[in-house]
Chain A
Amino acid sequence: METMKSLHDPVLEVEDLSVQFVTEDETVNAVNHISFKLRKGRTLGFVGETGAGKTTTALALLRLVPNPGKVESKRIEVCGREVSAMTARQLEKYRGDDIAMIFQDPMTALNPVFTVGQQIADSILLHQDVTYGEAMKKAEEMLELVGIPASRQAEYPHQFSGGMKQRVVIAIALACNPEVMIADEPTTALDVTIQAQVLNLMKKLRDDRRMSMIMITHNLGIIADICDEVAVMYAGRIVETGTLVEVFNHTKHPYTEGLFNSLPNILNRTAKLKPIPGLMPDPSNLPVGCAFAPRCRYAGPDCTCAQPKAHWFSDTHTVACAAYERVGFTIDRPEKK
């Protein structure tokens, strides 16, 4: 019974999370009232354009939103504990041990004046009851695990290539076997051949350790490759969420459709790309209604007056689009079986 429970209970549950950056001149609404769940061993993908609030969401989970950010939420529960209620000491214990993050840019994510071995061992020393020597040994094992010879533990970040630095960042994040791993565009800064290596490595480690993972990316290919569930973000909101099949094959939201349309089609190389016209609205000046309406070809007068309600297409598939209030509305993208 206990195992059944742990399999189906979410390890991470977020309800009504908002992040604002308040400055003297303006208030930037980076994340607006989003809710999502992540179950044990599953991978949730966040996809969306730059500035959609994906990274800010992830930082809010670690309570690392930089100043002057203000985080509000009904609930951020990780492994059954409320993150927003943690004391500084509980937070120190929680970060790195329960939840770890792989940062976007490996070039700047490592401290230039400490050896990579020290940087990995650091995390182990913080969370496990080991001596310095044991931690260094474990750090060497972690390096081997991500495919770097243990002998290089005494080297500094500047002696590594971009792909290897990203492996080190992954080793740091995984060092304490976290329940939840957040990967924030882990491959964006890498070239394509290395991207595949790093992704395969992450998949393998995730499966070996039965970790839950949040994958943040703007690359739909990575989502298809690694995720079980998808949340599409636009202007700080989740506009469509569902399982991988639901979102990819039974796309419902016009923005998700636009994302797919802007991908090049390998079967029809002469076809022109169909980018989504316009730009994402300024997060300090969001419209009252649907933020995507100005760029949406299905938009009607009903879209601009209020935030669209969530429409449930299955137990897992939700879409926030007002057009579904109209009888018989469908988007152009055909359903796939």
Chain B
Amino acid sequence: MLRYAMKRLLLMIPVIIGVSFLIFFIMDLAPGDIVDLKLAEEGLTYEQTEQLREAYGLTGSVFTRYFSYMLNFLKGDLGTSNVSGRPVLDSFLEKMPATIVLACASIFVSIIISIPLGIYAAIKRGTFADNASMVLSFIGLSIPNFWLGLMLIIVVALNVSWLPTGGFTKGIASVILPAITVGTGLTATLARTTRSSMLDVLSQDYLRTERAKGHKEFKVIMKYALRNALIPIITIAGGQFAVTLGGAVLTETVFSWPGVGRLIVDAVNSRDVPMVVGCIILKSITIGIVVLIVDLLYAVIDPRIKAQYAKRKRKTA
């Protein structure tokens, strides 16, 4: 298990190299740089722009610049923002708590709604309740995030003023609306996954064995069936959680949420190359770790998968 986790962590190195090069290259292809923006704003002379380019490290080919960037990255230096002049890592870590709070809150909201809903739909398969909950989840899946966010602001924040319209200044009250906004689509996806996974498990013979032992139907479903249905559910939930950890750009914008998503978008708009590249590398590391945790959770849930990891270990050793 530990060996497997180490191997997976090592595999993240090529991923980081690939992601960083790609983003570096794309940012270079985009027309205009930070100096052009300053030129438009402040009206600099040609010499001044050349000096500025030198200072920002914008001279030389994209490969040499990428190489020196990665050299610094290895030393733990992700560069400084061209706009604010602050270290990229500091800015990222400063925005991370808000993003983590939002991701956790939205995944929490969607799990407590979607899993019971999916189980209920699976048990009541083919009935009105099943169809109704699936139609509901289809609607949830189709609603655009930004629209739902705006509607929630208008109704809950402005009309009845129960909750703040945005920002992350009023503690838990300010998390509720963004969490619902991000969580709605997630809930819909998870409910559908739970339903189909449960349907698959509910037809299995071993549940009949559990019932024949005299277990309560509730326990048969919630313990013996659900545990077997969990793998697809945590795959989807984990993937969505990882994506949200990378920043929910639209929702963060609508609710002026001080998260990583907005940090990256702002950096792209101002051609702040070190900020963009640094944030995306950190984001991909975060996603990689969450996906790894999900994979390790498989082994906790299903002993057959754990046995596979153990077998792999024996082969490589």
Contacts and interface: CB of A to CB of B under 8 A. Distances in A.
A22 interface: no
Given A95-B214, A96-B213, A101-B212, A110 B206 contact: yes
Contacts of B301: 113
Contact of B228 (A62, A113, A123): A113
B8 interface: no
Interface string B197-235: 000000011101111111111000000100110000000
A158 to B, nearest CB: 5
Interface stretch (B110-118, B279-287, B302-310): B302-310
A100 to B, nearest CB: 7
A80 B213 CA distance: 20
A103 B227 CA distance: 22
B208 A103 contact: yes
B214 A96 contact: yes
A56 to B, nearest CB: 13
A97 interface: yes
Interface string A71-114: 00000000000000000100111111100110101001111111
A189 to B, nearest CB: 11
A92 B216 contact: yes
Contacts of B204: 108
A168 to B, nearest CB: 10
Given A113-B227, A113-B301, A113-B303, A127 B214 contact: yes
B212 A62 contact: yes
Interface residues of A, number: 33
* Range of interface residues on B (Cβ < 8 Å): 20 to 34
Interface in A105-147: 105, 108-115, 119, 122-123, 126-127
B302 A112 contact: yes
Contacts of A101: 212
A92 to B, nearest CB: 5
A156 interface: yes
A112 B211 contact: no
A83 B296 CA distance: 46
A100 B212 CA distance: 7
A112 B211 CA distance: 16
Nearest to B204: A108
Contacts of B209: 103, 109-111, 119, 169, 172
A166 to B, nearest CB: 12
A331 interface: no
Interface string B138-155: 000000000000000000
A64 interface: yes
B233 to A, nearest CB: 14
Interface in B166-208: 204-206, 208
A173 B227 CA distance: 22
A258 B68 CA distance: 88
Contacts of B216: 88, 92
Contact of A108 (B206, B211, B214, B304): B206
Contacts of A109: 205-206, 208-209
Interface in B217-265: 217, 224, 227-228
A275 to B, nearest CB: 30
B205 A105 contact: yes
A142 to B, nearest CB: 13
A105 B204 CA distance: 11
Given A103-B205, A109-B206, A156 B303 contact: yes
A265 B215 CA distance: 46
10 contacts: A91-B214, A96-B213, A101-B212, A103-B209, A110-B206, A111-B210, A113-B301, A115-B303, A122-B210, A123-B214
The 4 closest A-B pairs by CB, nearest first: A96-B214, A95-B214, A108-B205, A156-B303
Given A111-B206, A126-B213, 11 more contacts: A64-B212, A92-B216, A96-B212, A111-B228, A113-B227, A114-B227, A115-B303, A119-B209, A123-B214, A126-B214, A158-B303
